[in-house]
Structure formats: structure tokens, C-alpha cells
Amino acid sequence: MNSEELRNRAHDVLQRNDRGEFSTPSPHQYPHQWNWDAALIALGWSHFDVSRARTEIRSLLRAQWRDGMLPHIIYHHGASDYFPPPDFWQTHGLPHVGAIESSALTQPPLVATVVRALHERSHADSESLAFVREVFPKILAWHRWLHHTRAVDDSGLPCLIHPWESGTDNSPRWAAALDRITPHDLPPFRRRDTQHVAPDERPLAQDYERFVYLIDRGRRIGWDSARLLAESPFLVQDVMFCSILHRADEDLRALGKIVNEDTREIEKWLGQTRQVFDARFWNETRGLYLDYDVRASEPILVNTFATFMPLLAGVPSSEQVARLMQHWSDLHEYAPSDDSRFRLPTTSKNEPRYAPRRYWCGPIWIIINWLSYIGLRRYELREPAAALRADTLALLQTHGCREYFDPRDGAPLGATDFAWSAALALEFLSERDE
């Protein structure tokens, strides 16, 4: 399909997933609202209807917990055939939860970045200013929760207590931390994610057992944040999550200045992150940014797409960027070669657990291409950015708005009619290579 046909297809997918005040990521596989999906879907709506885009953000923020946490799944219409259902989280009656049924986990904080983009696209009219004033304190409360409630020290770097919080559930970067966990006394459950998607494209059974075990650990302590940090067997600091948060802090600071809010607290977070980021994540020997296993007190020595996410945040020096781009251009890691035609595999091709069809173990995700594209453009790396955009549009124009793609031949994988792929198709179409 050509560009105009892709634009029409993307609009159709957004409409197909529209449930009035929120959107589902896909009609069958994911029938509720997801946190970072909602942010990206709002971006997509902004190309047609900025009011509908704001509605998407409002519906997400209505589920915010009283302590500031913004959940990763919101069950606006109650239970469905999706696992886990709302009751599985056992949050009913807890004093710190929100008014709408939700999960007890969070997801990467893209909302501030998207709200800033919506404001800039609306030409700063009075309605947009009112919207920024409305949502600013809620986003601020979420960022405060991440920097304080989820930090184990004064660095302000948040910790994740479940792989689902990373948005990259079964990435090989979490494998060692999960392998140390021996699930026991599991509650009865029946995963439903292989009803609409082939099992070889989804996480393995042993992954799911550990996912459920970690949920059960949270349930047993009433999702108490302090105890989760002290007791969760899975506790990591994620390069991508922290990069997105730093960029979101920059955007939240900009929003605060637009509506004359005090931004000194945000300035402090930005300074803290810049001060500790390299010490925590940069591996000088390998020239990679690596996630950190807090429980094991050691870096996670797995080469994944996450190494490029600090470009989004503007953290790397020019010397670090040069080393990162060596990996980007390596035929055995991320560059197209005889064994792969398209960028960006989500795991380096020379990693032992690289699997080009299995969820986050190697397939191309449009969101990762988009975040990488923004990072490349931030550093004025125009040629690799243009090549990444061309690969992304080729996948979308050939196969439509699928959830993810095989980097070897571009084969479409996962859920069909995937909303953030549609939204980001519109983003890539709106860009112009320089």
C-alpha cells in the first residue's frame, strides 16, 4: 500500500479499537486500556481529532491510584476473557488504590511527552492550556511516585518489581533474574494470550509461572510499596524505563513552565538522573548501556535494544554515541545482513536467547523503532534515522498494523489491528527526512 493507503488503514485501526472514552490495543488480544499504549494511541488520534486524543489521556488518568501510581491495565468495563482479570490483583479495599479497577503494576511513563506533543500540535489554544493545567498535577504525582516511592536510594532511579512494568515482558534481559525464582504455591490461573496468537510468538510457560508468582507475592502484602522494594525477588533498574522517565521529566518541566507551575522539584529529578545515569548503566568495556539487577547487585550483561534508549533522553556524550553506533552498524548485532532484512531487532542477533519470532526476544516493535528514531534525530544522526524510518514504513505498508515483525523477512506477528502500530504509522508518515 502507498502512504495515503497506510494513513487510511491506520485511521481505520484506531476507529476499530475505539471504545468511546478509551481505546484497546487490539480488538481481541488486549480488550482493555493499557498505560503506555494509551499515550501512543492519543498521539495517533491527534492527527485527526485532538479532542479525542485528550479524552484518551483523561480516561487513563482517572485510574490513577491515591498514592500517585498510574496502573498498566485499566478495566473500564470490568472483566473479559483476558488474563489476569481485575479480581486477580486483589486490590479491592486497599486504601491507596484508585476508583477504577486496574492492575497493581505501572508501565513506562510516556504520558508527559505525549501531552507536550498534543499541546504543540494544538497551537497552544485556550482549550489546550486548560488541558495542560488539568493533567499536570496528576502526571507530576506519578513521576514523584516513581522517583521516591519506587527508588531504593537517593538516586531517584525507579525500580521495577515485575517484568510487565518494563513493557518488555519476556525480554532476555530479565531471564537471569527470573531464572533465580522458583515459583511455588501458585494460585490457579489459565493464561489466555495464546487464543488469538500462535504460542511460538508468545512468552514460554515458565515465564508465565514466574509472572503469576510475582503477582501473588504482591497480593500477599497488599501491594505495599515499601515491602515490595524490600521483599520482591525481582527488582531491577531498567535503562529504557529510566530513559523514558528522564525525557518525560524534561517534557513535564516544559509543561509546567507553560502553565506557570513550580518546576523546581522536576529540576532536581533531572539533575539527579544526569548525575547517576552513567555510573549505574554505562559499561565502558563493552560500550553498551546495560540494565541493573538490584537484587544481585550487578549489571545485566545482555545486549538488547535498550542500549539505544538513552539517546531519547539526551544522556550519552558524543564519545558514547560513537560507540553505540558501532553496535547499531554491526552485522552480527543490529544491522541488516544475510540473516535479517529489517531494523531494529529488540535483542542483539548474537545473543544466545535471541528469538526472532517470540514476543520481546527479538522481533521488531514499532514503538522501539519510534523511540530510537526520536533519539537518533535528537543527536542529528540523520542517515540512520532515515533508514530506520524507511524500514518501519516498509513493514507497515507491506503487512499493515501488526503488533510486531520478524526482522529476518518482515513477517507480521502477534495481534492484528494493533493500535499503537497504527498511531506510530501516522507519526512516521508525518515526519520528513532531512
Q: How many CB atoms lie within 10 A of CB 176?
A: 14
Q: What whole-number distance in Å separates Cα of residue 165 and Cα of residue 71?
A: 9
Per DSSP, the chain holds a count of helices (H) and strands (E) of 15, 9
Give every CB contact of residue 246 below 8 A, 6+ residues apart in sequence.
Answer: 270, 273, 274, 277, 313, 314, 315
Of 403, 406, 417, 427, which one is the catalytic site residue?
Answer: 403
Q: Where are the alpha helices (DSSP H) in 284-336?
A: 310-313, 318-328
Instruction: Determine whether 262 is an active site residue.
Output: no
C-alpha gyration radius of the chain: 20
Catalytic one of 37, 101, 165, 169 = 169
**Which residues, in sequence order, are bridge partners of residue 405?**
364, 412
The verdict on whether 278 is a catalytic residue reads no
Integer Cα distance of 223 and 91 in angstroms = 8
| Amino acid in the structure at residue 427 | E
> What span, in angstroms and rounded, lies between the C-alpha atoms of 401 and 13?
8
Per the listing, cell 508468582 goes with 213
Instruction: Cell 534508549: give the residue.
Output: 309
b/e code 295-312 from CB counts within 10 Å (16+ = b): eeeebbebbbbbbbbbbb
- CA–CA separation, 236 vs 240, rounded Å? 12
At CB < 8 A and 24+ separation, what contacts does 171-174 make?
A: 171/304, 171/346, 171/347, 171/360, 171/361, 172/302, 172/304, 172/347, 172/351, 172/352, 172/353, 172/354, 172/361, 173/291, 173/300, 173/302, 173/304, 173/306, 174/234, 174/236, 174/300
Do 30 and 104 form a contact (C-beta atoms < 8 A)?
A: no
Q: Which residues are catalytic?
A: 169, 403
